[in-house]
């Protein structure tokens, strides 16, 4: 049994880590932190955990957390930036769910996050934790930057094309739709029920912070700098994320050609499912699970490829992928505690 700590256990990704880890046979949850609810039992904050786990939430303390074998940082963006370095002074492995160490170019932080990174020297040492692309590096990493939900859905949708000469890499657009839990648990006007229900709201068009993360990984695959259009939308559902990705084809290719190519590319990947012909990815098929479903459709009238990519923003888009990374880093079977199918309806 390994000792696991979760910093930020009273947010949605924190709760999702707990939900998935309580039945992990190799894991013992030993430290849960929360500034807001310190002193309370986690089951008082989340009554779903009654009878299942009863640990007192405590304030963040790096010394306490260092005694864990693995620590998940499920903290707000910018909060993790100075806490991660404290933890990795010890042998403790760290999986950071924030954006603080995802970008390897320190200059991107002032541009996209309006801040100066306080530990630029660490950026190149911390592995971008998308297992389907970087599994070998993750195996040996002490710290992993867990990808964002939008980037996971978009990068997995496009990765198989990046080294081909089939597509126009200047033409990439991702029109993405997210459930409201992606905004986190802190009350805000935009995520009030009556503001989000019964409507669809675009936001952050032409400037969302997840853009450079996608471009970093796609550029790395292609071997050339790539710029994309990324348009997030808020959808009235609690969980789930769909990216509809558009890219112009440079040659005539059929659905079958592309599906075969994608299936080969993801042949060994349990968590990426390439759908059969004329099937489109749908969040219902992945909600609650660690799967990312990818659908392929060629619009032959205009020589454009339309890729649909669906995942659960809290699982494959956050806590599930973090556990997948933990399993890889510690040499466990990668699927442990992540094998449940989606919950539907």
Which positions are annotated as active-site residues?
Answer: 149
Distance CA 277, CA 260 (A): 10
Q: Restricting to residues 32-71, which ones interact with a copy of itself according to CB under 8 A?
A: 46-52
Question: What do you get for the CA distance between the two ends of the chain, in Å?
Answer: 34
Q: Report the nearest approach of a copy of itself to the CB of residue 144 (Å).
A: 25
Q: With respect to a copy of itself, which residue has the nearer C-beta, 116 or 197?
A: 197
Q: Mask: binding to a copy of itself, 217-256, rule CB under 8 A, as x and -?
A: ----------xxx-x-x-xxxxxx-x-x-x----------
Q: Report the nearest approach of a copy of itself to the CB of residue 101 (Å).
A: 24
Q: Which of 29, 143, 159, 281 binds a copy of itself (CB under 8 A)?
A: 281
Q: Report the nearest approach of a copy of itself to the CB of residue 279 (Å).
A: 7
Q: Report the nearest approach of a copy of itself to the CB of residue 198 (Å).
A: 5
Strand order in the sheet with 201-202: 201-202, 229-234, 173-178, 241-248, 304-311, 292-299, 272-274
Q: Which of 82, 260, 299, 333 binds a copy of itself (CB under 8 A)?
A: 299
As given in the structure block, the two tokens for residue 89 are: 């002074």
As given in the structure block, the two tokens for residue 324 are: 């997948």
Q: Restricting to residues 303-332, which ones interact with a copy of itself according to CB under 8 A?
A: 304, 306, 308
Q: Restricting to residues 251-280, which ones interact with a copy of itself according to CB under 8 A?
A: 270, 273, 275, 279-280
Give every CB contact of residue 108 below 8 A, 6+ residues apart in sequence.
212, 216
CA-based R_g, the chain, Å: 20
Please tell me whether residue 156 binds a copy of itself under the rule CB under 8 A: no
Q: Choose the binding region for a copy of itself from 66-74, 93-101, 153-161, 282-290 (rule: CB under 8 A).
A: 282-290
Q: Name the region of 145 (left: φ>0; alpha: ψ -120 to 50; beta: rest).
A: beta
Q: Report the nearest approach of a copy of itself to the CB of residue 217 (Å).
A: 17
Q: Report the nearest approach of a copy of itself to the CB of residue 171 (Å).
A: 8
Q: With respect to a copy of itself, which residue has the nearer C-beta, 63 or 206?
A: 206
Q: With respect to a copy of itself, which residue has the nearer C-beta, 164 or 340?
A: 340
Q: Which of 206, 267, 268, 331 binds a copy of itself (CB under 8 A)?
A: 206
- DSSP secondary-structure letter at 113? I
Q: Which of 127, 144, 286, 294 binds a copy of itself (CB under 8 A)?
A: 286
Q: Report the nearest approach of a copy of itself to the CB of residue 27 (Å).
A: 14
Name the burial class of residue 188, with classes exposed (0-12), middle (13-18) and buried (19+) by CB atoms within 10 angstroms of its CB.
exposed
Distance CA 37, CA 60 (A): 11
Q: Mask: binding to a copy of itself, 162-201, rule CB under 8 A, as x and -?
A: --------xx-x-x-x-xxx---x-xxx-xxxxxxxxxxx
The answer to whether 95 and 131 are in contact (CB under 8 A) is no
- DSSP characters for 262-331? HHHHTTT-TTEEEPPTT----GGGTTTSS-EEEEEEEETTTTEEEEEEEE-TTIIIIIHHHHHHHHHHTT
Please tell me whether residue 285 binds a copy of itself under the rule CB under 8 A: yes
Please tell me whether residue 142 binds a copy of itself under the rule CB under 8 A: no
Q: Which residues of 196-223 are buried (b: 16+ CB within 10 A; e: fewer)?
A: beeeeeeeeeeebbbbbbbbbbbbbbbe
Binding residues with a copy of itself: total (CB under 8 A): 87
Q: With respect to a copy of itself, which residue has the nearer C-beta, 49 or 144?
A: 49
Unique residue bearing structure tokens 């005694």: 67
Q: Name the region of 188 (left: φ>0; alpha: ψ -120 to 50; beta: rest).
A: beta
Distance CA 159, CA 220 (A): 10
Q: With respect to a copy of itself, which residue has the nearer C-beta, 210 or 273?
A: 273
């Amino acid at each position: 049994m390994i000792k696991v700590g979760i910093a930020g256990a009273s947010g949605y990704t924190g709760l999702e880590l707990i939900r998935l880890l309580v039945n992990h046979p190799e894991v013992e949850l030993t430290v849960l932190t929360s500034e807001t609810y310190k002193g309370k039992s986690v089951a008082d904050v989340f009554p779903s955990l009654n009878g299942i786990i009863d640990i007192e939430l405590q304030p963040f303390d790096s010394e306490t957390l260092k005694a864990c074998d693995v620590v998940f940082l499920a903290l707000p963006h910018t909060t993790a930036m100075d806490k991660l370095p404290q933890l990795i002074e010890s042998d403790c492995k760290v999986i950071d769910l924030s954006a603080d160490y995802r970008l390897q170019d320190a200059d991107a932080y002032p541009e996209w996050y309006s801040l100066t990174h306080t530990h630029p020297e660490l950026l190149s040492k911390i592995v971008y934790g998308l297992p389907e692309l970087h599994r070998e590096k993750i195996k040996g990493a002490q710290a992993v930057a867990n990808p964002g939900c939008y980037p996971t859905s978009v990068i997995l949708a496009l990765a198989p094309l990046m080294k081909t000469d089939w597509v126009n890499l200047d033409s990439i657009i991702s029109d993405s739709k997210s459930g409201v839990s992606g905004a986190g648990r802190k009350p805000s006007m935009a995520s009030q029920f009556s503001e989000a229900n019964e409507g669809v709201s675009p936001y952050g068009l032409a400037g969302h912070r997840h853009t450079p993360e996608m471009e970093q990984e796609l550029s790395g695959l292609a071997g050339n700098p790539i710029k994309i259009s990324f348009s997030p939308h808020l959808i009235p559902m609690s969980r789930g994320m769909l990216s509809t990705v558009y890219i112009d084809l440079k040659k005539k290719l059929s659905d079958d050609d592309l599906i075969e190519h994608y299936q080969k590319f993801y042949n060994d990947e349990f968590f990426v499912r390439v759908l059969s012909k004329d099937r489109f990815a749908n969040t219902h098929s992945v909600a609650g699970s660690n799967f990312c479903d990818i659908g392929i459709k060629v619009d032959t009238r205009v020589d454009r490829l339309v890729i649909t990519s669906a995942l659960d923003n809290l699982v494959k888009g956050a806590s599930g992928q973090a556990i997948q990374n933990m399993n890889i880093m510690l040499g466990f079977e990668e699927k442990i505690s992540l094998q449940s199918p989606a919950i539907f309806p």
